[in-house]
Amino acid sequence: MRQLPNQASWRAALFPFVFVGLVTACGTSSDNVADTTDDGASSTVATAQTSIGTAQTTVTADPESTDEDSASTDTSEPTQIAAVSTFSIEVWADNWMAVYVDGVLIGEDSVPITTERSFNAEVFTFEATYPFTVAIEAKDFKETDSGLEYIGEANQQMGDGGIIAQVIDTSTAEVVAGTDSDWKALVVHQAPLNTDCEHDANPDATCESLIIETSSDWASAGFDDSDWTNASVWGAADVGPKDGYDEISWDPSAQLIWGTDLRVDNTILLRTTIS
* Residue 117: Cβ-neighbour burial (10 angstroms; 0-12, 13-18, 19+): exposed
- Minimum CB distance to Ca ion smaller for 49 or for 206: 206
- Minimum CB distance to Ca ion smaller for 94 or for 143: 94
The answer to whether the CB of 258 falls within 8 A of the CB of 268 is yes
Minimal distance in Å, beta carbon 125 to Ca ion? 26
Residue type, 82: A
| Nearest residue (beta carbon) to Ca ion | 159
- Phi then psi for residue 147, to 5 deg, are 90, -5
Distance CA 275, CA 256 (A): 22
- Minimum CB distance to Ca ion smaller for 129 or for 266: 266
> Which runs of consecutive H residues, i.e. helices, occur in 50-164?
67-73
Query: Residue 220: helix, strand or coil by DSSP?
Result: coil
Minimal distance in Å, beta carbon 29 to Ca ion? 14
- Minimum CB distance to Ca ion smaller for 52 or for 262: 262
Q: Footprint of Ca ion on this chain (CB under 5 A)?
A: 94-95, 140, 159, 263, 266
Minimal distance in Å, beta carbon 109 to Ca ion? 12
- Minimum CB distance to Ca ion smaller for 119 or for 130: 119
- Minimum CB distance to Ca ion smaller for 263 or for 271: 263
Distance CA 21, CA 192 (A): 14
Minimal distance in Å, beta carbon 113 to Ca ion? 9
> Which runs of consecutive H residues, i.e. helices, occur in the chain?
7-14, 67-73, 203-206, 236-239
Minimal distance in Å, beta carbon 160 to Ca ion? 5
Please count the residues of the chain: 275
Minimal distance in Å, beta carbon 94 to Ca ion? 5
Minimal distance in Å, beta carbon 271 to Ca ion? 21
Q: How far is CA 225 from CA 160, 186, 263, 270, in A?
A: 25, 9, 24, 10
Name 62's Cβ contacts closer than 8 Å, sequence gap at least 6: 70
- Minimum CB distance to Ca ion smaller for 128 or for 256: 256
Distance CA 267, CA 132 (A): 23
